[in-house]
Amino acid sequence: MLGAVIVVLLGLLVRRVPGIAVAEVQIDVWLTRHQNGVVGTVSLAIEALLSPAGSVAILAISFLFLLLVRRSPVNAFAFTSVAAFGYLSCEVFKAAVSMPRPNGHLMLHPLLAETGNDSFPSGHTTFAVSYAVAAVLLSRNTRWFTLTVLIGTLFVVVVAVSRMYVGAHYLTDVIGSALVAAVAISFYCGLWSRFGLVVLDRLPFLRRIGPVPPPAKTH
């Protein structure tokens, strides 16, 4: 709860102190004045791929892969729910902060002309962080852990920079996204540890797909 309050206060600080946004938008202005065709294409591809519809599709594909190909019901539900909870939590913070989007009129050739009061945090970046964290948690105690951390970090950085590159977000938006995902996932992991296997244990058909360990007994 404290973490969530801190994140909201950060967003409100940026919104209430105009000088912060004025200084931050200069990063977006600089990026739009140094555009590159390849980078622009990649940034717009990220915009489309990690849109709400694209994010749902990625989560659905990940869930089905872990459930039906890897035959791991627990990993399927744990991975997907962690990533989804972290991602969807950004909508709560967007509503609480209501930060206006960067002013596209200040930029030379913004690739996107985003409007509205939903700038903080970045939904695309929150999804990237949430998905990367879920992947890192899934890879714990395996030989893929270090590689997953490196790829996940690179993925998050690329997505975050792309959101500023197209003129859709401020620097604090993408930083706030990492904080939002961290706070939300930390909260959710506590719920999963307490109730995750209890819920899956009540779905006996899952054992036809793969192993589902019984929940730990509490005394």
DSSP string computed for 69-114? IS--HHHHHHHHHHHHHHHHHHHHHHHHH-PPPP-GGGSSS-S---
The pLDDT of 97-120, averaged and rounded, is 84
Average pLDDT (106-129) is: 87
The residue among 205 and 103 whose pLDDT is bigger is 205
Structure token pair of residue 142: 């395996």
pLDDT band at 219 (very low <50, low <70, confident <90, very high): low
Peptide bond into 121 cis (omega under 30): yes
pLDDT tens-digit series, residues 130-150: 999 999 999 999 999 999 999
State the chain's mean pLDDT as an integer: 92
Determine the distance from the C-alpha atom of residue 22 to the mean position of all C-alpha atoms in its chain, rounded to a whole number.
25
Among the listed residues 92, 88, 87, the one whose alpha carbon sits nearest the alpha carbon of residue 5: 92
Reported confidence tier of residue 218, pLDDT bands at 50, 70, 90: low
Write the DSSP symbol of residue 37.
Answer: H
Domain range list for the chain: 37-101+112-203
Residue 153 makes CB contacts below 8 A (sequence gap 6+) with 132
pLDDT 10s digits, 158-197: 999 999 999 899 999 999 999 999 999 999 999 999 999 9
- Is 2 or 196 the better-scoring residue by pLDDT? 196
pTM: 0.94
pLDDT tens-digit map of 48-93: 999 999 999 999 999 999 999 999 999 999 999 999 999 999 999 9
pLDDT of residue 14: 87
